[in-house]
C-alpha cells in the first residue's frame, strides 16, 4: 500500500481474536469493524437467512446495554454505524472520533457474548425481514431473475441461496435457532477486529485486551463445511417475463475460481479481464456494443472474486432499440470468441491495470473502504500480504493469461444465460 499509510498491524489476542490495525493519521477519526467468519453460505441447510437474521438481532441489546442504547450512544457521539451480511461473512461497523474508540470496543465486545433475545422482538424482527424480502424481491422482476440465476449457477453450493434466505425458511426461524447460531459463531476465535484511523498498533492492542480480551476463548473456530459445486455439464438459461419489466436485459454468468480457490493467478487475470471487457465506459464491450453501434444501451461485466469457494464472472447488457436478447447474446459471444483467439490490445491491457490499481489507491482515501478490503480478504481466507501484493499480481497479468482464463472459464456451453423480458 502507499506510503501515506503506516505499516498494517496484525496480531492475535490470547482468546484467538484476530486484530488488524490500519494507521491513517489524516483526520482524528477511527473506523471500528468486526468481521465474523460466517455468512449466509454457512446457514444450516433448511435455515437459510439465519446469518442475516442474526445481523438484525444483534441490535436488540444486551443486559449491560439494553435495546437501542448502542445506536443511541453512536448517534450522540456524532458517529455512523452499519452492519452487513454476505455469503462468507457478517460485519459490524462504526465510525467515530478517535477518543471514542474504546467506547465502541466496549459496546461491540459486550454484544459478542451478552446478546439478549426476547421472543416477541425476535418474531417482530422476522416480520420486518419478511417484509423486506417482499418489497425487494416479490415486487421486482430484476431481483427475481437474479435469484433464479444464482440458483441456476450454484445448484449445490449455498451461494445459490440468497443471503436474505428463502421466504418459507425465514418464516420458520425461531429464537432458539438464532441463539444456537449466535453461540456457534459469535466467538473471539471466529472474529476479526479491524481498526483503521488515527491510532497506533499499541493503542489498539491495549484497548482490545481491555475489552475483547476479557472474553474467554470458546473453542476452535467453527469450520466452514460446505459442499462444492459439481462441474457444470450444460448451458442453462433462465427466462423471466413480467409485465412490470421496464427494461429488458441479458445476463450471463460463468462459474470460475475465486481468490479463495484460484491457482496459477487465474483470479487476477479474471479481474483484469472484467475491467477490460465491461468494467468502465471505455471498456471493449461498451465501445463495440454501445458507442460504435447501437446494439446495447449499456453493458458491464464483473467478477465475484472475494469468496471462500468458487465465484463467478458476470456480464449484464441492456439491448438497444429493436435488438433482441438473442441477437445481443450473439454479439457478446462474437466478442468473447475474438478475444479468446486474439487477446487484447497491449494499450488496453495497460489502461485496465492502471485503472484497477488506481481504484485501490483511491480506496485508501476512505478509511471504511480500506478496512472492508482487509476485512473481506481475511474473512475469506486471504492474508494482509495478499492485499498488499495485489497490485504487483495485477501488473503481472499477460495477454496469454487473459486468453487462458477466457478459454478455460468463459465457455458458452456451460454458461448460465438470463433473459429478462417484458410480458406481452
By annotation, the residues acting in catalysis are: 55
Site for a second copy contains 292 (CB under 8 A): no
Residue of 183, 228, 244, 422 that binds a second copy (CB under 8 A): 228
Other CB atoms within 10 Å distance of the CB of residue 30:
27
Distances from the Cα of 329 to the Cαs of 36, 295, 312, 407, in angstroms? 40, 10, 18, 18
Q: Kindly tell me the sign of the dihedral angle through the C-alpha atoms of 109, 114, 116, 117.
A: positive
48 binds a second copy (CB under 8 A): yes
**Quick check: 168 binds a second copy (CB under 8 A)?**
yes
- Taking a C-beta distance cutoff of 8 angstroms, is the pair 315, 342 a contact? no
The grid coordinates of residue 346 equal 497491449
Contact between 63 and a second copy by CB under 8 A: the answer reads: no
Give the closest residue to 335 by CA, choosing from 286, 302, 294, 291: 286
Residue 328 binds to a second copy (criterion: CB under 8 A): no
Stretch of 56-64, 235-243, 260-268, 384-392 lying at the interface with a second copy (CB under 8 A): 235-243
286 lies in the site for a second copy, by CB under 8 A: no
Per DSSP, the three-state class of 266 is helix
Q: Among the candidate windows 21-29, 165-173, 356-364, 365-373, which touches a second copy by CB under 8 A?
A: 165-173
CA dihedral 194, 162, 270, 375 (to 10 degrees): 0
**Cβ of residue 358: shortest distance to a second copy, in angstroms?**
38
Residue 18 in contact with a second copy, rule: CB under 8 A: no
**Strand pairing class (191-197; 29-36):** antiparallel
Contact flag: residue 225 with a second copy (CB under 8 A)? yes
Number of C-beta neighbours around residue 94 at 10 A: 27
Asked if 334 touches a second copy (CB under 8 A), the answer is no
In this chain, which stretch among 4-12, 128-136, 154-162, 358-366 interacts with a second copy, using CB under 8 A?
A: 154-162
Q: Please pick, from the candidates 28, 66, 78, 227, the single residue that binds a second copy as defined by CB under 8 A.
A: 227
Strand partners, 245: none
Rounded CA gap, 363 and 18, in Å?
23
C-beta of 243: minimal distance to a second copy in Å?
Answer: 12
Q: Binding of a second copy at residue 2 (CB under 8 A)?
A: no
| Residues 51/53/58/63 CA torsion (nearest 10 deg) | -110
Residue 71 binds a second copy (CB under 8 A): no
Give the DSSP H or E segment for 401: helix 399-409
Per-residue x/- marks for a second copy, 397-416, CB under 8 A?
Answer: ----------------x---
Task: Identify the residue among 161, 190, 262, 300 touching a second copy (CB under 8 A).
Answer: 161
Please answer whether residues 160 and 310 qualify as being in contact, where contact means their C-beta atoms are separated by less than 8 angstroms: no
Nearer to a second copy, 203 or 242 (CB): 242
Residues that contact a second copy, how many (by CB under 8 A) = 33
For a second copy, the closer of residues 234 and 347 by Cβ is: 234
Q: Which residues bind a second copy (CB under 8 A)?
A: 45-46, 48, 144-145, 147-148, 151-152, 155-156, 160-161, 166-169, 225-228, 230, 232-241, 413
Amino acid at each position: 500500500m502507499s506510503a501515506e499509510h503506516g505499516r498494517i498491524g496484525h496480531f492475535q489476542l490470547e482468546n484467538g481474536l484476530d486484530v488488524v490495525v490500519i494507521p491513517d493519521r489524516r483526520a482524528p477519526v477511527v473506523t471500528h469493524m468486526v468481521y465474523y467468519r460466517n455468512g449466509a453460505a454457512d446457514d444450516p441447510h433448511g435455515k437459510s437467512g439465519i446469518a442475516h437474521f442474526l445481523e438484525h438481532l444483534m441490535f436488540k441489546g444486551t443486559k449491560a446495554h439494553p435495546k437501542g442504547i448502542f445506536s443511541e450512544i453512536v448517534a450522540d457521539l456524532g458517529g455512523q454505524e452499519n452492519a452487513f451480511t454476505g455469503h462468507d461473512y457478517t460485519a459490524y461497523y462504526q465510525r467515530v472520533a478517535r477518543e471514542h474508540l474504546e467506547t465502541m470496543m466496549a459496546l461491540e465486545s459486550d454484544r459478542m457474548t451478552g446478546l439478549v433475545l426476547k421472543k416477541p422482538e425476535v418474531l417482530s424482527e422476522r416480520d420486518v425481514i419478511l417484509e423486506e424480502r417482499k418489497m425487494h424481491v416479490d415486487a421486482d422482476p430484476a431481483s427475481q431473475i437474479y435469484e433464479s440465476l444464482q440458483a441456476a449457477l450454484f445448484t449445490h453450493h449455498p451461494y445459490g441461496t440468497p443471503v436474505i434466505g428463502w421466504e418459507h425458511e425465514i418464516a420458520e426461524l425461531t429464537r432458539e435457532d438464532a441463539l444456537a447460531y449466535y453461540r456457534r459463531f459469535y466467538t473471539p476465535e471466529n472474529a476479526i477486529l479491524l481498526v483503521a484511523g488515527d491510532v497506533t498498533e499499541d493503542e489498539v492492542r491495549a484497548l482490545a485486551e481491555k475489552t475483547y480480551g476479557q472474553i474467554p476463548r470458546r473453542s476452535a473456530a467453527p469450520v466452514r463445511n460446505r459442499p462444492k459445486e459439481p462441474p457444470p455439464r450444460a448451458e442453462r438459461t433462465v427466462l423471466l417475463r413480467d409485465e412490470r419489466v421496464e427494461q429488458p436485459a441479458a445476463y450471463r454468468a460463468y462459474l470460475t475460481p475465486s481468490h479463495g480457490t484460484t491457482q496459477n493467478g487465474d483470479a487476477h487475470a479474471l479481474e483484469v479481464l472484467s475491467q477490460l471487457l465491461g468494467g468502465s465506459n471505455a471498456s471493449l464491450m461498451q465501445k463495440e456494443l454501445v458507442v460504435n453501434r447501437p446494439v446495447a444501451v449499456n453493458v458491464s461485466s464483473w467478477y465475484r472474486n472475494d469468496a471462500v469457494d468458487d465465484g463467478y464472472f458476470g456480464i449484464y447488457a441492456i439491448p438497444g432499440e429493436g435488438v433482441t436478447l438473442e441477437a445481443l447474446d450473439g454479439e457478446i459471444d462474437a466478442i468473447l470468441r475474438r478475444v479468446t483467439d486474439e487477446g487484447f490490445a497491449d494499450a488496453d491491457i495497460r489502461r485496465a491495470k492502471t485503472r484497477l490499481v488506481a481504484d485501490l489507491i483511491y480506496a485508501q482515501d476512505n478509511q471504511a473502504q480500506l478496512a472492508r478490503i482487509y476485512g473481506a480478504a481475511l474473512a475469506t481466507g486471504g492474508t494482509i500480504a495478499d492485499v498488499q501484493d495485489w497490485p504487483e499480481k495485477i501488473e503481472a497479468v499477460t495477454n496469454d493469461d487473459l486468453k487462458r482464463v477466457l478459454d478455460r472459464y468463459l465457455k458458452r456451453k456451460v454458461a448460465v444465460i438470463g433473459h429478462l423480458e417484458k410480458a406481452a
